Amino acid sequence: MQSQHQPDCPIGPGPRISRHLACLAVVLALFLPGSVFADRLTVFGAASLKTALEQIAETYEAQSGTTVDLSLAGSSLLARQLQYGAPADVFISANAAWMDWAQSRNLIAAQTRIDLLGNSLVLIAPTAAPATVPSLSLQNSPALLAQIQDRPLAMALVEAVPAGIYGKSALQNLGLWDQLQPHIAQTDNVRAALALVARGAAGLGVVYGSDVIGTPAVTVVDRFPPDSHAPITYPAAATHDGPEAIDFLNFLSSPIAKEIFVGQGFTVLVE
């Protein structure tokens, strides 16, 4: 943990100018942004990007020698953290609305913004606890209600987190929201909703298609029609125009990063 007190200047033999320069170097090392020294980056990413970003960060570190610190959470929380001054070099949101919000407050470098990825929305149930009704589908509301009679429907926060916003819109457009809403358990992010279903604590969940990749504890019981909700888009941007942030942002569009994203169930939007 870095202390907050100002450093003492080094004292020792040599010309006074050398001691002054040494002191200045220590001050700069402690108080200038880490990106100046090109050895560390902080990336704020939507929780649904966890596995993909971990793989991409590891690959980038091996190629560049730069350490990548990932902060993964709901896009709304990450955007608020930027507003409160949390240090980050790159922000990847799970919807355009929170990136728009950050851009309107000059929290990102607007000229660096790209639409990076797309995704889908699915309805899941626990694999270990088979559905009580075999005909579970979005067209069979009685079966859905039977499945969540004793265990809730898990969703990310429906008024704040992109996955929850998309999910609520889809359920409303399919005429299911009013019936299912009393049974919903809201979570801080979509990965938390996934975890509830995987543990069997929730009977159903609304998550991204990418979330179920490598998660055998859940089963997709239906897929939401793409026209039941707004297009799921992941915009990415640097928070400043420093070369290290731009380099990582460009790496997200590289062939190796695209391969990782596709392997984790995302669609790549950038060329």
Q: Any known ligand binding at 166? A: no
Interatomic CA distance for residues 2 and 120, integer angstroms: 42
Secondary structure of residue 112 in the 3-state scheme:
helix
Interatomic CA distance for residues 247 and 238, integer angstroms: 10
Q: Where are the alpha helices (DSSP H) in the chain?
A: 16-31, 50-64, 75-83, 96-104, 141-147, 162-173, 177-180, 190-198, 243-251, 255-263
Distances (CA, A) of 251 to 81, 83, 144, 177, 260: 24, 26, 42, 40, 12
- Asked if residue 218 lies in contact with residue 125, where contact means CB atoms within 8 angstroms, the answer is yes
Q: Closest Cα to residue 189, out of 224, 230, 216, 154? A: 154
Q: Any known ligand binding at 234? A: no
Q: Any known ligand binding at 48? A: yes
Q: Any known ligand binding at 137? A: no
- Asked if residue 180 lies in contact with residue 144, where contact means CB atoms within 8 angstroms, the answer is yes
Q: Any known ligand binding at 208? A: yes
User: b/e for 92-131, b at 16 or more Cβ within 10 A?
Assistant: bbbbbbbbebbbeeebbbeebbbebbbbbbbbbbbeeeeb
Secondary structure of residue 250 in the 3-state scheme:
helix
**In terms of DSSP bridges, do strands 233-238 and 267-268 run parallel, antiparallel, or are they unpaired?**
unpaired
| Number of residues written out for the chain | 271
Q: Point out the annotated binding site.
A: 48, 75, 163, 190, 208
Q: Point out the annotated binding site for molybdate.
A: 48, 75, 163, 190, 208
